[in-house]
C-alpha cells in the first residue's frame, strides 16, 4: 500500500536523496531551507510503500502574477518510476494544489527515460513551454587526472590559467560577509549583458547562508594584490561540483582572473573525490548570436562536454492554463526584442 507523508527528519531525507541515481542539490534539505528563507512555502513529501521510503519530492509553492503553481525542481526522486507510487504522489499534489487554488503542477526531473515520460503524459501532463533551470550544461569528468583535464582544454585556456597564476593572481575562500563582493560583480555583469537578476532581496546572501552552513556551498574569490577581480559560488553535492554562479570585475581584465578561478574550483571538486564538475548553464548550440554564446565558449574551452536536459512537465488544474502557457511562450521572444531595443 502506498502512502504520502511529510518527511520531517533531515537525515532520512538526505540519505534517500544522496543514494538516488542522480542526486541533485535542488532536492536537498538545504535547498528547501533556502526556499523558506525567501518566504516560499515548501512541502517535503515522502512516498512510502508500507513502511519503506521509495520516493521524495520537494515541492515549492510559486506565486506569480499570471498564475500560482506547485514546482518540484529536479523532482520527484523515485526509486523506480512505477505507476502506483507516481499516481499516489500526483493525487496528493493535485488535492493540495486545489486546496490552494493553484493553476497547475510543474515537475522538473531534468532527465528521465522515455517510458517514465510516458507515465506522465498518460497522467495528463504536457511538456512545459519553457525551461526553469538551464536547458543545457557542460560537464567535466573529475575521475580524469589533472594532466588529462588540462590536455582537453583549449590551448588559450591552458595558457590563461598559467599566465594568470604567474602574474600572481591568487584564489582564496571567502566568508559570509564577502558574498557582497560577488553580488557587486554580478550587478556589473548584468548591466553589461542585460541580464535579469533575482527579484527577491538578498537572494544570493540567503542562498549562501542556507547552503554554506550545511557545507554545500563555498565562495571562491580571485584577486590581485588584495583586490578582488572575480568570484564564484560553487555547490558541492552528491558526486558533483556545480559552478552555480560566477561574475567578474571589469578592472584588470588582462589578468584573466576567471580562468584560474574555474581551475581552482575544478581542483576543489577533485580533492573531495567527486565524479563530475558541472558548469550549470550554457547555450544548447554554438550559435554565435545566442545571448550565452560568450559564456558558452568560455566554459567549453575547459574541455567540458554538453549535456542536454528535458523540458519540465505541466499538469493543468485550471481551464485558463492555456492562457498561462501562451504568456510563457511569448515571453522569450519578447525578452529578446527588449534586449535588442535596449542595445539600439
Domain range spanning residue 21? 2-133+311-343
User: pLDDT band at 342, cuts 50/70/90?
Assistant: very low
The three state secondary structure string of the chain is CEEEEECCCHHHHHHHHHCCCCCCHHHCHHHHHHHHHCCCCEEEEEEEECCEEEEEEEEEEECCCCCCEEEEECCCEECCCCHHHHHHHHHHHHHHHHHCCCCEEEEECCCCCHHHHHHHHHCCCEECCCCCCCCEEEEEECCCCHHHHHHHCCHHHHHHHHHHHHCCEEEEEECHHHHHHHHHHHHHHHHHHCCCCCCCCCHHHHHHHHHHCCCCEEEEEEEECCEEEEEEEEEEECCEEEEEEEEECCCCHHHCCHHHHHHHHHHHHHHCCCCEEECCCCCCCCCCCCCCHHHHHHHHCCCCEEEECCCCEEEECCCCHHHHHHHHHHHHHHHHHHHHHHHC
The percent of residues above 90 in pLDDT, for the chain, comes to 83
pLDDT confidence of residue 195: 67
Residues 303, 333 within the same domain: no
Number of folded domains in the chain? 2
Share of the chain above pLDDT 70, in %: 94
Q: Is the pLDDT of residue 333 over 60?
A: no
Q: Are residues 169 and 289 in the same domain?
A: yes
Q: Is residue 56 over pLDDT 90?
A: yes
CB 45 within 8 A of CB 56: yes
Both 177 and 201 in a single domain?
yes
152, 108: one domain: no
Task: For residue range 100-136, list pLDDT tens digits in order.
Answer: 999 999 999 999 999 999 999 999 999 999 999 999 9
What grid cell was written down for 4? 504520502
pLDDT tens digits along 84-98? 999 999 999 999 999
At residue 213 the predicted structure's pLDDT band, cuts being 50, 70 and 90, is very high
Q: Which of 152-161, 258-267, 297-306, 320-329 is predicted least confidently?
A: 320-329
* Average pLDDT of the chain to the nearest whole number: 92
Residues 123 and 251 reside in one and the same domain = no
The predicted pLDDT at position 158 comes to: 97
Q: Are residues 285 and 229 in the same domain?
A: yes
How large is the average pLDDT for residues 197-203?
83
Q: Taking 90 as the threshold, does the pLDDT of residue 142 lie above it?
A: yes
Same domain, 129 and 187: no
**Same-domain pairing of 99 and 187:** no
What span, in angstroms and rounded, lies between the C-alpha atoms of 2 and 51? Answer: 9
Flag whether pLDDT at 201 surpasses 80: no
> Does residue 33 sit in the same domain as residue 166?
no
Contact at 8 Å (CB) between 270 and 239? no
Cell (9 digits) for 241: 561540483
Of 137, 165, 170, 163, nearest to 295 by C-alpha is: 137
Cell of 36: 523558506
Instruction: Quote the pLDDT of residue 198.
Output: 82
Higher pLDDT, 197 or 82: 82
Instruction: Give yes or no: residues 144 and 285 share one domain.
Output: yes
Same domain for 239 and 90: no
Claim to verify: residue 160 and residue 31 sit in the same structural domain: no
What CATH number is given to the structural domain containing 271? Answer: 3.40.630.30
CA dist., res. 93 & res. 107, Å (int):
11
Bridge pairing between strands 136-141 and 276-278: antiparallel
Amino acid at each position: 500500500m502506498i502512502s504520502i507523508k511529510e518527511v520531517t527528519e533531515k537525515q532520512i531525507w538526505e540519505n534517500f536523496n544522496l543514494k538516488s541515481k542522480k542526486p541533485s542539490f535542488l532536492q536537498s534539505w538545504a535547498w528547501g531551507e533556502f526556499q523558506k528563507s525567501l518566504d516560499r512555502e515548501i512541502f517535503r513529501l515522502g512516498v512510502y510503500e508500507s513502511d519503506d521510503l521509495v520516493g521524495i519530492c520537494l515541492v515549492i509553492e510559486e506565486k506569480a502574477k499570471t498564475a500560482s503553481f506547485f514546482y518540484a525542481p529536479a523532482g520527484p526522486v523515485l526509486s523506480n518510476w512505477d505507476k502506483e507510487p507516481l499516481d499516489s504522489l500526483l493525487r496528493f499534489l493535485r488535492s493540495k494544489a486545489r486546496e490552494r487554488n493553484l493553476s497547475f503542477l510543474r515537475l522538473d526531473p531534468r532527465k528521465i527515460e522515455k517510458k517514465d515520460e510516458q507515465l506522465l503524459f498518460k497522467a495528463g501532463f504536457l511538456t512545459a513551454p519553457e525551461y526553469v533551470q538551464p536547458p543545457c550544461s557542460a560537464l567535466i569528468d573529475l575521475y580524469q587526472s589533472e594532466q588529462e583535464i588540462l590536455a582537453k582544454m583549449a590551448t588559450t585556456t591552458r595558457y590563461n590559467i598559467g599566465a594568470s597564476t604567474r602574474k600572481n593572481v591568487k584564489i582564496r575562500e571567502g566568508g559570509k560577509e564577502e558574498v557582497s563582493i560577488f553580488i557587486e560583480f554580478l550587478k556589473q555583469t548584468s548591466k553589461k549583458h542585460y541580464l535579469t537578476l533575482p527579484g527577491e532581496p538578498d537572494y544570493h546572501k540567503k542562498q549562501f547562508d542556507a547552503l554554506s552552513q550545511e557545507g554545500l556551498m563555498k565562495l571562491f574569490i580571485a584577486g590581485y594584490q588584495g583586490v578582488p577581480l572575480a568570484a564564484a559560488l560553487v555547490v558541492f553535492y552528491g558526486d558533483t561540483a556545480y559552478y552555480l554562479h560566477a561574475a567578474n570585475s571589469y578592472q584588470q581584465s588582462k589578468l584573466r582572473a576567471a580562468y584560474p578561478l574555474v581551475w581552482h574550483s575544478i581542483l576543489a571538486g577533485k580533492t573531495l573525490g567527486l565524479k563530475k564538475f558541472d558548469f550549470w548553464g550554457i547555450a544548447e548550440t554554438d550559435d554565435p548570436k545566442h545571448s550565452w554564446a560568450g559564456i558558452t565558449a568560455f566554459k567549453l574551452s575547459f574541455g567540458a562536454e554538453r549535456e542536454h536536459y528535458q523540458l519540465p512537465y505541466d499538469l493543468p488544474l485550471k481551464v485558463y492554463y492555456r492562457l498561462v502557457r501562451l504568456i510563457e511562450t511569448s515571453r522569450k521572444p519578447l525578452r529578446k526584442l527588449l534586449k535588442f531595443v535596449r542595445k539600439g
